[in-house]
């Protein structure tokens, strides 16, 4: 009797599951897909259902510690693999899809995932650099180019955008996101989702996106990758979850759990995140994949006794797909038979996975993304290389330019290019390079040579390595500098010193590079430092010495031409910092939208206030900072009325003038400060950006509309709303602007 009752309930639940999906169906095709999914689900055995929840590594390089090497092809033929990652190229993808759709009982196609993070073959600036452009159209286009190349190379799904907020430059993966600000991080997340997914997932060049890593991975204690995260729910929702919500609102198809323990519970099993917030409250209808073996790692964390226990906890938290632990395919059936996991739970996960495969059109044409002919034709086409060059140009941030040393123009007849990153192809593309090939990268030396101004000469000397103590190259470098009018140094981190598992406790420029810079500065000639890094570096030991500093991040395949465009003045640098540059690592985590504390200031002789006795509190370069070859003047900021109501917005405006001699772009930034809340509020919060191009002498009025909804936050009882009260609004060129006005939000 009991078994029959269980079956009846299961049928009802399954029915409910279907109707839940059907109710959410937004279009007729959604409903058709829901019906097809349901019909397929009914035919599937429990083994086949669980197989859809199993993702294994393909023949490409593993992107995590391989823990199990199941006989994948045999598992695939039995219908026990639903997805593969790291399958290189369309030919390999074609072979695997062919097995899936011809040799399995139900012919369900695979969904093939890959880390298309900042380009597939044409590599764009690393994401933190791309974000420094503050040009959302350019950022979206970069994702679109990446999706186009990946979509003909067998990739159906990218594990991007990485939307983790990062406030600590020690954390290597700060390179992969959009920096420290939740507002801007949300805009970038949505732009990247749109770029990858296009207008419809069924389109030829659309690939499913994946918001990762859910959640708060960037708050790893001490900036050490994979370390625990222990933050308040208020900070979690106020800062770290906002870009994820923006990804859901932009229609992101999938999510990925993060590795970290959040408040004592690993994210993969943390019901506050997926089960309660993502799926229940945000009504997310896509699916969630674990990160690489993050299910299995619960045993290592010490929150699961074995993989079976981990699998039970992960499915209880509605993690739908197991990346490379083989926990689901090994233990879920047993858990169902023991009554610990219901068929309804399995069905919910499988329904989500099958729905995406239908949306991508993989049932109609499993080989839609396996197009070797188009792969050869489209990859690295000139238009894509131009887009990458444009994105790189826009990513550079001019941090210093004493006496207008830059751009290098007719004033200089001879250039000495020195430093270990001047002629390094592999370092230009950074990490997470997809199928990018360093040999395709154009180095800074090549770029500067190709665009050398008439009558000028350039001499190159490496001088030293990125790491190590060898100074034997100094002599040649100093000789080259002595013979030149201007010295350009290409220094910083190697491309593989930021990214996953690449945190640093010391964030200064490594090796003997700074020592070489000091020797060159002694020659009394202007020294331009072009800094390559995947994170904010502590540049205090060069900031007073170099005449100019250009933050170049890792610019990608077209590094050289883009650097020449800016260094020779064909394009005025317009980038702004998406993450604060500290004076020293001891200030980390450091970010502009900090709280005031009860003792924010004091005179230097007063002891009892919030400060360091050995450094100022202020960063070396603040969030939003970036110079130009032009100069911009801002009129006093105006508000069209002094009261903002819950229903009626206010308009904030400034007049911006290019008082320089060259055309240039400026990122106009709007910040607010809530002077009093039911909880303490940040001293500044970015609430508007506008990137404008101004010709020399041109002025333009820039307007922002501010609504009460823009001022909402998680109040004392964690309700998300704006509270009436007094505010300041600031509009200027970076987060330090004092161009302010006031307004009051009235009930
Ligand atoms: C890695 C990363 C994740 C990536 C995944 C697949 O460990 O944490 O960002 O998407 O595994 O490569």
Tell me if 297 CB under 6 Å of ligand 1: no
Give residue 66's pLDDT. Answer: 72
Q: β-pairing, 548-551 with 638-639? A: unpaired
Tell me if 217 CB under 6 Å of ligand 1: no
* Cα(560)–Cα(447) distance, integer angstroms: 4
Give residue 2's pLDDT. Answer: 54
Tell me if 212 CB under 6 Å of ligand 1: yes
Q: Which residues of the chain does CATH 2.60.40.10 include?
A: 632-746
Tell me if 64 CB under 6 Å of ligand 1: yes
Q: Which atom of ligand 1 is nearest to the CA of 176?
A: 9
Confidence check: pLDDT of 335 > 80: yes
Residue 459, Cβ neighbours under 10 Å: how many?
A: 16
Confidence check: pLDDT of 64 > 90: no
Confidence check: pLDDT of 26 > 90: no
Mutate to test the pocket of ligand 1, among 112, 208, 256 (most ligand atoms within 8 A of CB): 256
Residue nearest to atom 12 of ligand 1 (CA): 63
The stretches of 152-200 forming alpha helices (DSSP H) are 182-197
Tell me if 173 CB under 6 Å of ligand 1: no
| Reported confidence tier of residue 17, pLDDT bands at 50, 70, 90 | low
Tell me if 291 CB under 6 Å of ligand 1: yes
Mutate to test the pocket of ligand 1, among 290, 500, 501, 503 (most ligand atoms within 8 A of CB): 500
Residue 432, C-beta contacts closer than 8 angstroms, at least 6 positions apart:
115, 117, 118, 126, 176, 499, 500
* Cα(239)–Cα(218) distance, integer angstroms: 11
* Alpha carbon 373 to chain centroid, angstroms: 31
Q: Which atom of ligand 1 is nearest to the CA of 64?
A: 7
The answer to whether 440 touches 556, Cβ cutoff 8 Å, is no
Tell me if 293 CB under 6 Å of ligand 1: no
The answer to whether 633 touches 190, Cβ cutoff 8 Å, is no
3-state DSSP helix/strand/coil % of the chain, to nearest 5: 35, 20, 45
Confidence check: pLDDT of 566 > 80: yes
CA dihedral of 124, 129, 134, 136, whole degrees rounded to 10: 30
The answer to whether 163 touches 177, Cβ cutoff 8 Å, is yes
* Cα(148)–Cα(203) distance, integer angstroms: 10
Give residue 482's pLDDT. Answer: 98
| Best CATH choice for the domain 49-374 from the list 3.30.70.20, 3.20.20.300, 3.90.850.10, 3.40.50.720 | 3.20.20.300
CA of 357 to the centre of ligand 1 (A): 21
CA of 38 to the centre of ligand 1 (A): 31
Residue 423, Cβ neighbours under 10 Å: how many?
A: 18
- Rounded to the nearest 10 degrees, the angle between the axes of helix 343-359 and helix 28-43 is 130
The answer to whether 396 touches 575, Cβ cutoff 8 Å, is yes
343-363 per-position pLDDT tens digit: 999 999 999 999 999 999 999
Residue nearest to atom 8 of ligand 1 (CA): 291
| Reported confidence tier of residue 571, pLDDT bands at 50, 70, 90 | very high
CA atoms within 13 A on the CB side of 414: 11
Tell me if 674 CB under 6 Å of ligand 1: no
Give residue 245's pLDDT. Answer: 98
The answer to whether 517 touches 369, Cβ cutoff 8 Å, is no
179-233 per-position pLDDT tens digit: 999 999 999 999 999 999 999 999 999 999 999 999 999 999 999 999 999 999 9
* Mean pLDDT within 458-482: 98
Q: Which atom of ligand 1 is nearest to the CA of 160?
A: 10
Mutate to test the pocket of ligand 1, among 63, 65, 213 (most ligand atoms within 8 A of CB): 63
Residue 50, Cβ neighbours under 10 Å: how many?
A: 28
Confidence check: pLDDT of 102 > 50: yes
Q: Which residues are catalytic?
A: 291
Mutate to test the pocket of ligand 1, among 67, 115, 210 (most ligand atoms within 8 A of CB): 115
Residue 430, SS3 per DSSP: coil
Burial of 204 (0-12, 13-18, 19+ CB in 10 A): middle
* Mean pLDDT within 709-724: 97
Mutate to test the pocket of ligand 1, among 155, 215, 259, 291 (most ligand atoms within 8 A of CB): 291
CA distances from residue 493 to 128, 243, 428, 538, 548 in whole angstroms, order as listed = 15, 28, 11, 12, 18
| Reported confidence tier of residue 70, pLDDT bands at 50, 70, 90 | low
* Mean pLDDT within 93-111: 97
Give residue 25's pLDDT. Answer: 64
CA distances from residue 257 to 162, 194, 287, 289, 422 in whole angstroms, order as listed = 11, 21, 11, 6, 38
429-457 per-position pLDDT tens digit: 999 999 999 999 999 999 999 999 999 99
Tell me if 63 CB under 6 Å of ligand 1: yes
Q: Is the CATH number of domain 391-587 3.40.50.1700? A: yes
CA of 62 to the centre of ligand 1 (A): 9
Going by the DSSP 8-state scheme, the letter that residue 568 receives in this structure is: T
Give residue 15's pLDDT. Answer: 53
Residue 704, C-beta contacts closer than 8 angstroms, at least 6 positions apart:
651, 652, 653, 670, 687, 688, 690, 731
The answer to whether 204 touches 151, Cβ cutoff 8 Å, is yes
Give residue 5's pLDDT. Answer: 52
Q: Which atom of ligand 1 is nearest to the CA of 162?
A: 9
Q: Which residues of the chain does CATH 3.20.20.300 include?
A: 49-374
The answer to whether 159 touches 211, Cβ cutoff 8 Å, is no
* Cα(534)–Cα(179) distance, integer angstroms: 11
Residue nearest to atom 11 of ligand 1 (CA): 292
Fold topology of 632-746: Immunoglobulin-like (2.60.40)
CA atoms within 13 A on the CB side of 318: 22
Tell me if 292 CB under 6 Å of ligand 1: yes
* Cα(191)–Cα(108) distance, integer angstroms: 31
Instruction: Output the furthest CA–CA distance in the chain (Å, rounded).
Output: 95
Give residue 59's pLDDT. Answer: 80
CA of 256 to the centre of ligand 1 (A): 9
SS3 annotation, 32-80: HHHHHHHHHHHHCCHHHHHHHCEEEECCCCCCCCCCCCCCHHHHHHCCC
The answer to whether 576 touches 734, Cβ cutoff 8 Å, is yes
CA of 175 to the centre of ligand 1 (A): 14
Q: Which carries the bigger pLDDT value, residue 4 or residue 386?
A: 386
Tell me if 345 CB under 6 Å of ligand 1: no
Q: β-pairing, 457-461 with 414-418? A: parallel
Cα-trace Rg, the chain: 27
How much of the chain exceeds pLDDT 90, in percent?
A: 92
As beta bridge partners, residue 287 has 254
The answer to whether 670 touches 689, Cβ cutoff 8 Å, is yes
Residue 31, Cβ neighbours under 10 Å: how many?
A: 15
Tell me if 180 CB under 6 Å of ligand 1: no
Give residue 633's pLDDT. Answer: 98
Residue nearest to atom 10 of ligand 1 (CA): 159
676-704 per-position pLDDT tens digit: 999 999 999 999 999 999 999 999 999 99
How much of the chain exceeds pLDDT 70, in percent?
A: 96
Confidence check: pLDDT of 50 > 60: yes
CA of 65 to the centre of ligand 1 (A): 11
* Alpha carbon 430 to chain centroid, angstroms: 14
* Cα(435)–Cα(92) distance, integer angstroms: 14
* Mean pLDDT within 330-348: 98
Mean pLDDT of the chain: 95
* Cα(674)–Cα(99) distance, integer angstroms: 59
DSSP count for the chain of H helices, then E strands: 22, 27
CA of 505 to the centre of ligand 1 (A): 22
| Reported confidence tier of residue 13, pLDDT bands at 50, 70, 90 | very low
| Reported confidence tier of residue 60, pLDDT bands at 50, 70, 90 | confident
* Mean pLDDT within 139-146: 98
Phi/psi at 746 (nearest 5 deg)?
Answer: -105, 155
Residue 54, C-beta contacts closer than 8 angstroms, at least 6 positions apart:
75, 80, 81, 82, 83, 321, 322, 326, 328, 329
Confidence check: pLDDT of 68 > 70: no
* Mean pLDDT within 97-113: 97
Confidence check: pLDDT of 14 > 50: no
CA of 433 to the centre of ligand 1 (A): 13
The answer to whether 34 touches 313, Cβ cutoff 8 Å, is no
The answer to whether 721 touches 715, Cβ cutoff 8 Å, is yes
Tell me if 500 CB under 6 Å of ligand 1: yes
Tell me if 159 CB under 6 Å of ligand 1: yes
Give residue 8's pLDDT. Answer: 52
* Mean pLDDT within 490-513: 98
Give residue 22's pLDDT. Answer: 65
The residue assigned the tokens 């509190």 is 617
The answer to whether 524 touches 244, Cβ cutoff 8 Å, is no
| Reported confidence tier of residue 715, pLDDT bands at 50, 70, 90 | very high
CA of 63 to the centre of ligand 1 (A): 6
């Amino acid at each position: 009797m009991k078994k029959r009752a269980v079956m009846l309930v299961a049928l009802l639940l399954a029915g409910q599951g279907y109707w839940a999906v059907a109710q959410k169906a937004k279009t007729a095709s959604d409903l058709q897909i829901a019906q097809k999914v349901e019909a397929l689900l009914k035919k599937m055995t429990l083994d086949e259902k669980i197989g859809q929840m199993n993702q294994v590594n393909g023949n490409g390089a593993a992107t995590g510690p391989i823990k199990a090497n199941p006989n994948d092809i045999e598992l695939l033929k039995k219908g026990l693999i639903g997805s593969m990652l790291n399958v290189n190229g369309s030919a390999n993808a074609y072979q695997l899809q062919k097995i899936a759709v011809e040799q399995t009982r139900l012919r369900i196609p695979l969904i093939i995932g890959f880390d298309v993070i900042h380009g597939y073959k044409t590599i764009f600036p690393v994401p933190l650099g791309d974000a420094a452009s503050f040009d959302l159209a350019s950022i979206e286009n970069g994702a679109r180019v990446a999706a186009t190349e990946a979509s003909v190379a067998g990739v159906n799904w990218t594990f991007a955008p990485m939307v983790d907020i990062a406030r600590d430059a020690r954390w290597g993966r700060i390179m992969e996101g959009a920096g420290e600000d939740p507002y801007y991080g949300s805009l970038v997340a949505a732009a990247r989702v749109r770029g990858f997914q296009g207008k419809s997932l069924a389109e030829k060049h659309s690939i499913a996106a994946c918001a990762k890593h859910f959640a708060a991975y960037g708050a790893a204690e001490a900036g050490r990758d994979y370390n625990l995260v222990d933050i308040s729910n208020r900070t979690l929702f106020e800062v770290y979850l906002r870009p994820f919500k923006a990804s859901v609102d932009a229609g992101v198809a999938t999510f990925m759990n993060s590795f970290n323990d959040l408040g004592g519970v690993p994210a993969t099993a943390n019901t506050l995140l997926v089960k309660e917030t993502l799926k229940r409250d945000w009504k997310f209808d896509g699916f969630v994949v674990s990160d690489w073996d993050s299910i299995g790692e619960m045993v290592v964390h010490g929150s699961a006794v074995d993989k079976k226990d981990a699998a039970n906890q992960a499915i209880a938290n509605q993690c739908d797909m197991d990346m490379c632990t083989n926990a689901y395919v090994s233990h879920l059936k047993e858990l169902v038979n023991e009554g610990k996991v219901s068929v309804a739970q399995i069905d919910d996960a499988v329904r989500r996975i099958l729905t995406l495969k239908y949306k991508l059109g993989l049932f109609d044409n499993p080989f839609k993304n396996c197009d070797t002919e188009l792969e050869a034709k489209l990859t690295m086409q000139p238009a894509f290389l131009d887009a990458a060059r444009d994105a790189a140009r826009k990513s550079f941030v001019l941090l210093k330019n004493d006496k207008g040393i830059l751009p290098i123009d007719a004033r200089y007849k001879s250039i000495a290019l020195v430093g270990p990153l001047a002629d390094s192809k592999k370092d230009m593309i950074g990490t997470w390079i997809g199928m990018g090939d360093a040999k395709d990268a154009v180095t800074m030396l090549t770029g500067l040579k190709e665009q050398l101004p008439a009558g000028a000469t350039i001499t190159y000397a490496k001088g030293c390595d990125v790491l190590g103590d060898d100074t034997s190259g100094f002599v040649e470098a100093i000789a080259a500098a002595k013979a030149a009018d201007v010295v350009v140094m290409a220094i910083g981190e190697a491309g593989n010193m930021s990214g996953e598992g690449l945190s640093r406790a010391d964030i200064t420029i490594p090796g003997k590079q700074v020592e070489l810079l000091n020797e060159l500065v002694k020659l009394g000639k202007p020294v331009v430092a072009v800094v390559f890094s995947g994170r904010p570096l502590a540049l205090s030991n060069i900031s007073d010495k170099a005449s100019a500093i250009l933050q170049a991040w890792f610019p990608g395949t077209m590094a050289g031409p883009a650097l020449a465009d800016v260094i020779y003045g064909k394009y005025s640098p317009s980038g702004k910092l998406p993450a604060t540059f500290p004076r020293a690592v001891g200030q980390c985590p450091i970010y502009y939208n900090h709280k005031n504390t009860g003792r924010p200031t004091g005179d230097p002789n007063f002891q009892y206030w919030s400060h360091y006795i050995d450094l100022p509190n202020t960063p070396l370069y603040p969030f939003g900072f970036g110079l130009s070859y032009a100069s911009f003047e801002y009129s006093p900021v105006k508000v069209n009325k002094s009261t903002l109501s819950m229903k009626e917005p206010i308009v904030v405006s400034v007049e911006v003038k290019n008082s320089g001699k060259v055309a240039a772009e400026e990122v106009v930034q709007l910040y607010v400060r809530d002077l009093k809340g039911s909880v303490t509020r940040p001293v500044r919060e970015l609430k508007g950006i506008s990137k404008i191009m101004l010709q020399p002498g041109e002025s333009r009025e820039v307007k922002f509309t501010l609504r009460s909804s823009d001022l909402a936050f998680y109040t004392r009882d964690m309700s998300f709303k704006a509270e009436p009260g007094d505010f300041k609004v600031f509009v200027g060129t970076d987060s330090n602007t004092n161009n302010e006005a006031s307004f009051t939000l009235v009930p």
